A and B are shown apart, each in its own frame.
Chain A
Amino acid sequence: MAKSNAKGKRKKDQKKIINNKRIKEKFTEMLELPKELVLDRPKLTMIGKNDMMIENYKAVLEYGSGRMRVNTGAGIVRISGDGLAIREITSEDIIISGTIHSLEFIDAG
C-alpha cells in the first residue's frame, strides 16, 4: 500500500514537471519570446557547409578533426566532416569551421 503510494507520488511529480514544461513552452510561443533563451534550446547557425555556430551549448563531448559531438539542451549534436576546428569557444557559444558533411541529433534528454 505504502509502496504503491510512493510510486504514485513519483508519477505525479513527473507529470507535474512535464506539465510545467508544456506550460512554459506554450507561454513562450504565445508571447513570441526567443526560445533559445527561455527554454534552454540551442540556436544553430550555419553558413554554407563550412561555418557553424551553436549558441547555448552545454559541453563538448568529443572533439576530433572528423567527428564532433556537442551536448545541448535539445540533445547531442553530432557533426561529421573533414578538418573540423573550433574557431572560437566561450561559455555560451561555439563556432566550428571545416567541411561539414552531416549533422545529427542524438536524443539523450
Chain B
Amino acid sequence: MKLLLFRLWNYLRGYVIIIVEGFFIEKFINICARRNIHLWDIRMQRERLVTMRTTIKGFKLIRPVARKSGCKVRLLKKTGLPFIFNRYRRRKAFFAGAVLFIILLNLLASFVWSIEISGNNELQTEFIEKALDRHGIRTGAFKYRIDTDSAVDKMMMEIGKLAWISIELRGTKVKVEVRERRDPPQIVPKHIPCDIIAQKDGIITRVIVKEGIEAVSEGDTVKKGQVLISGSIPVKGSEQSKLVHAMGTVSARTWYEEEVPVELTRTERIRTGRVIKDSSLILFSWKLNIFSSKNRFRDYAVEESRKKLSIGENLVLPFEWVTVSYYEEKVVEANINEEDAKKKAAEEACSKALERVPEGAYVADKTVRFIQEGDALTARVTLECIEDIGMSRRIGGN
C-alpha cells in the first residue's frame, strides 16, 4: 500500500531513469545522499554500470556530482505526468477543450434541471410547479438566484392547503416536499345560534334533540338542506323567538345506487411482440429526434421511458434520452358465461356504491337487480344505510 502510494506520487511528480557508469559509483551515491538528491531503485546492470531513478529536481543537480565522482551519467527514460503534460503543451486545442469542458460542466451545474415534488395527494403537481415557477424555481433557472426561504414563506401564504413545505437545492435538482393540510370540520361555535339541517335526502328514523325544537319526526322524508332541528324557539306572547344553538342527532335512512353494465364479451389486448422504438434526445428544452420511425400499427400501446443524464443522484444534467416504444397489439374477443358476467357486474357496482357510503354509516340492506334495456343488461345495486345526516348551520347567514 505504502509502496503503491509512493509509486503514484512519483508518477505524478515525474521522474527520470538514468544510467551511471564509472569506477566510483559508491562515491556518486554517497554525494547524492548527502546533497538530498533523492535516488531509488539503484540496480547494478553490469560491472561499473548502474541504473537508478531520480526526481526531475534531482536530475538537474546531478551534473556536478557526476563530475566530482568521475562518473558518466546518461538519461535513459523520462516517466510521469509532467512529461506527458509537456508533450501536450503545444496542443492548444486540447487544452482549450479541457478547460472548456470544466467551465461548461460548472456552468451547467449552476442551473436547475429537474424538480422533484413529493408528498402531494390532492394538490396537483402542475399546480405546485406553477406556484414554484412564480417564485423563480423552474427548470433552467439559475441556481444561485433562488431564494428557497422566501419561496417557502410565500408558498405557505399563497396555498392554504399546505401544512408544510420544504424546498431543497441539491446539485441541479430541486427537491420539494409538501404536506397537505386537512381542512378542519366547520363547527359553529357554541355561543352562536344555529339550526341542524339535512346533509342529504333520506327518511328520518330517529330524532334525538338536546337543544332546540325538532322540526321533523320519524318517518318524514327530508330533502337536502331542510331544517331538522330548529334553533329558534318561539316565545309565547311575542313575535320574536329565542335563538339557541341547536344540538342533537338525526338518523335517517339513505340510499346509494350504482349501475354497471353487464359485459357478455370481453375484449382482450394481446401484444404480438412487434415493437417500434423511437428515440429522441432532449437538450435543455428542445427535442432532437434521433431514431424516428413511422408508427404503422393499427392497434398498439405506447410506453415512454425517460432517462436523465446525471452524475450521482443529485447532479442532473440537462440532457434527456426519451424512448417511446409502440407495441403492436391484437384485439381478441372472448364470450363470458352470463352468470359470471352478471356476478362480476354486481360486485363491481356494489364496491362502487360502498365507496360513496360515508364513514359511520351502517349498511342495513343491499339489493341487486338486473335491468334489460334493449340489448344491454345492467346490474343495479342499491345500498340502504342508516346514518347521521345532521349538520349545523348558523341562523341568519351561513
Contacts and interface: CB of A to CB of B under 8 A. Distances in A.
- Do A and B come from the same complex? yes
Interface of A is mostly: strand
B196 to A, nearest CB: 95
A60 B26 contact: yes
A12 B302 CA distance: 108
Interface residues of B, number: 17
Contacts of B52: 86
Nearest to B50: A63
A87 interface: yes
Given A89-B29, A91-B34, A64 B39 contact: no
B230 to A, nearest CB: 102
A83 B52 CA distance: 14
A63 B42 contact: yes
Contact of B39 (A59, A61, A84, A86): A86
Interface in A71-102: 84-91, 94
Interface string B218-242: 0000000000000000000000000
Interface in B327-343: none
Contacts of B30: 59-60
Given A91-B33, A91-B34, A91-B36, A86 B42 contact: yes
B26 A86 contact: no
Contacts of B40: 86-89
B206 interface: no
Contacts of B33: 60, 89-91, 94
B43 interface: yes
Contacts of A86: 29, 39-42, 52
A56 B288 CA distance: 70
A50 to B, nearest CB: 13
A96 to B, nearest CB: 9
A19 interface: no
A61 B42 contact: no
Nearest to A68: B26
A63 B44 CA distance: 8
B319 to A, nearest CB: 49
Contacts of A65: 43-44
A87 B41 contact: yes
Nearest to B35: A91
A58 to B, nearest CB: 9
11 contacts: A59-B26, A60-B26, A63-B42, A63-B50, A85-B43, A86-B41, A86-B42, A89-B32, A89-B39, A90-B36, A91-B33
Interface of B: 25-26, 29-30, 32-34, 36, 38-44, 50, 52
